[in-house]
Amino acid sequence: MEVWRPSVGIERLRALTGANVASHSAFSSCVVSAPVVPWHKAVTDRLEQLLKLSKGWDGYDGVAVRFENATFAIKVLELVFPGHGPIPQIVPGATGDLQIEWHMDQADIEIHVLGPYRVQAWRATAATGRDGEEVRLTNDFAIVARWINEMLEPRRAAHTTAA
Amino acid sequence: MPLTLPPLDPNGQVLPHDHEGIGSDDGVIRRISEQQIVQDKSGNRRISSMAFKASGGDNSGMSVDLESLIVEAGKDPRLYVTTPRWTGSVRFTAGKLRAAKFLVGYDPSPENPCHGEVWGAFGRLQQRQLRNLATWFVEIPGVAIVAE
């Protein structure tokens, strides 16, 4: 949540107004901070690990996840994944690529980032069968957002009922 | 018997091929890293689909080790595929891979003279076939090959 921090503190406010200002709701201090999304730290921590993989990590010629792929993955997640939900698993590929995965009761979803704007997304549900449906995407991830929303819908309904 | 050198493209990269020197019963070993393990919906650990995909490079296939070459070199296959870094591994037989429409070829490198490649379509059906054909060679404890 972004909040404006005023430049004048309580002491200065007292000096300006002559009032015995102890506090003022208009000047409650808040800090400008990065968006707080529950999955963000876990995902960035995992990506940092994958950016540091040593050559041959897979027993062959595997290289570390490429930085541009990691940043693109974050951008995609920020677009398609609402704040609350299960943290995705992230698996490296051999050539700097990566795959974002969820495996839930409602669906399996895998987003393979081969490179920026080169994505293969796949999902399997009871309706699609185990081989699922796959799409190739560049910059429009509306279908993935829908898949994730459908995957999370039963969880949201359960929370609402419990409340 | 040593394998004949594989066919190369103008850039010197190995072309996808099915090597006649790799027998149907020959073992084809695929190393599996701990990085390629995920949890399924029940929280059980299994191999990610990423381990059963081709790499993204030119003439891309799925890297493997050819067991017969390792044995002919007088080495222990299980020691070979866990060196220089320990990974798990699964094993196929070449004949069963070919029956599933994959090509099994020879792609040696200075670092790994027993290196091979498996080429073919790596769609969901084929990935499922690969899982069903694979058996643990060097097992990662507690990890399933096939999803529950």
Burial string for A46-80 (b: 16+ CB within 10 Å, else e) reads bbeebbebeebbbbbbbbbbbeebbebbeebbeeb
To the nearest whole angstrom, how far is the Cα of A4 from the nearest Cα of chain B? Answer: 42
DSSP conformation class of B14: B
Closest CA to B54 of A122, A70, A101, A93: A93
Q: Look up residue B16 and give its two tokens.
A: 């996808």
Mean pLDDT of B9-27: 95
pLDDT per residue rounded down to tens, chain A (163 residues): 444 444 455 565 555 555 454 555 555 667 666 566 889 999 999 999 999 999 999 999 999 999 999 999 999 999 999 778 899 999 999 999 999 999 999 999 999 999 999 999 999 999 999 889 999 999 999 999 999 999 998 766 666 666 5
Q: Nearest 5°: phi and psi at B103?
A: -100, 140
Q: Nearest 5°: phi and psi at B19?
A: -85, 125
E-assigned strand segments in chain B = 27-32, 37-39, 45-47, 62-66, 88-93, 103-106, 115-119, 135-138, 143-144
Interface of A with B in 70-129 (CB under 8 A): 89, 91-97, 99, 101, 103-105, 108, 110, 112, 114, 122, 124
Distance CA A40, CA A80 (A): 13
Residue A155: the pLDDT is 66
Q: Residues of B with CB below 8 A from A136's CB?
A: none
**B128–A130 CB contact, under 8 Å:** yes
Q: Look up residue A151 and give its two tokens.
A: 């995957």
**B50–A122 CB contact, under 8 Å:** no
DSSP conformation class of A66: P
Residue A3: the pLDDT is 40
To the nearest whole angstrom, how far is the Cα of B138 from the nearest Cα of chain A? Answer: 13
Query: Is residue B128 less than 8 Å (CB to CB) from chain A?
Result: yes
**A91–B36 CB contact, under 8 Å:** yes
Residue A24: the pLDDT is 52
Residue A6: the pLDDT is 46
Across the interface, of A57, A103, A134, the residue whose CB is closest to B33 is A57
Quote the ipTM score: 0.94
Residue A115, CA distances (Å) to A21, A39, A142, A147 in order: 56, 22, 18, 21
Residue of A nearest to B123 (CA): A131
Using pLDDT thresholds of 50, 70 and 90, give the confidence band for residue B85.
confident
**A114–B56 CB contact, under 8 Å:** yes
Residue of A nearest to B87 (CA): A59
